[in-house]
Amino acid sequence: MKDLSGKVAIITGCASAEGIGFASARALAAAGAKVVITDLEQGAQALQERREELEAQGATPMACTMDVTDREAVSDAVATVVAQWQRIDIVVNNAGYAGGAGAFESISQAAWQRSWDVNVMGIVNLTQATLAALRASGRGASIINNASLAGTGAIAGMAAYTASKFAVVGLTKCLATELGPDGIRVNAVCPGMVLTDMGRSEIRFFQRAGEDLATTEKRLAEEVPLEERWAEAEEIAAAVVFLASPAASYVHGVALPVAGGLAPGL
């Protein structure tokens, strides 16, 4: 039920070895998919290292740089993939931006704009660019958007991120209504706390006066009902593979929390 042989998956935000994007690429490849890993130009070197790691695992990977906010670059990358592999079946919109945290009045216009451009328009751009290929792929095509628990509940001090991730969940549900008739399933994963580059950089936003970062990390973990721990990126990737696979053939339009029971918000 989780066999993805013959499928081609494109995943954004894969440069970091510890990130959810690369973990998803690894897991999709392990399920048999050919994977296209992408990230910003500044991550080109890291992306090549990730590609080699996938090859060593026996996978068939392709790596390409593209900024998801650059519609032309996204279209070019998609054209390259289709020219080489003739299809795209799975799109994992994983790239994200979590800058602009802090008190609401301190968040700059630039941070609001970047949150919207990367977290929302990045998904719009890649989804529009891959739609023809996904429609051609037909039943079995799947889009998975990486939202966040911040897309289902309020997180104090993260207004720009939270607003953009609510938009990701809204976009996911709207696309589900529009693309369902074509057999394209659209879902979102909503991770809680994951110790990635982004996860680590967010810890300082929750730091209390006089608290060192290790204590903040531990205090945040203690809020998680399941084993009082942060998630491994692989645990989010497992949900991505499930949503991409025939095992989820009737799962459509959901925002799936993968958060150890954490429930932020009001």
* Residue ranges that bind ligand NAD, judged by CB under 6 A: 12-13, 15-16, 19-21, 39-40, 43, 67-69, 94-98, 118, 122, 146, 148, 191, 193-194, 196-199
**DSSP E strand stretches across 94-140:** none
Vertex 127: Cα angle to 21 and 82 (nearest 5): 85
Among residues 43 and 153, whose Cβ is nearest to ligand NAD?
Answer: 43
Residue 5 has φ and ψ, to the nearest 5°, of -60, 140
Q: Which secondary-structure segment (H or E) carries 90?
A: strand 90-93
Q: Give least dist CB 248 to ligand NAD, A.
A: 19
Return d(Cα 134, Cα 245) in angstroms, integer.
15
Q: Give least dist CB 1 to ligand NAD, A.
A: 25
Among residues 140 and 243, whose Cβ is nearest to ligand NAD?
Answer: 243
DSSP codes of every residue in 22-75: HHHHHHHHHTT-EEEEEE-GGGHHHHHHHHHHHHHTT--EEEEE--TT-HHHHH
Q: Give least dist CB 31 to ligand NAD, A.
A: 19
Tell me which residue has its CB nearest to ligand NAD: 96
**183: exposed, middle or buried (C-beta count within 10 Å: 0-12, 13-18, 19+)?**
middle
Among residues 67 and 89, whose Cβ is nearest to ligand NAD?
Answer: 67
Among residues 178 and 197, whose Cβ is nearest to ligand NAD?
Answer: 197
Q: Give least dist CB 7 to ligand NAD, A.
A: 21
Exactly one of 27, 77, 94, 161 is catalytic; name it.
161
Annotated active-site residue 161? The verdict is yes
Annotated catalytic residues are 161
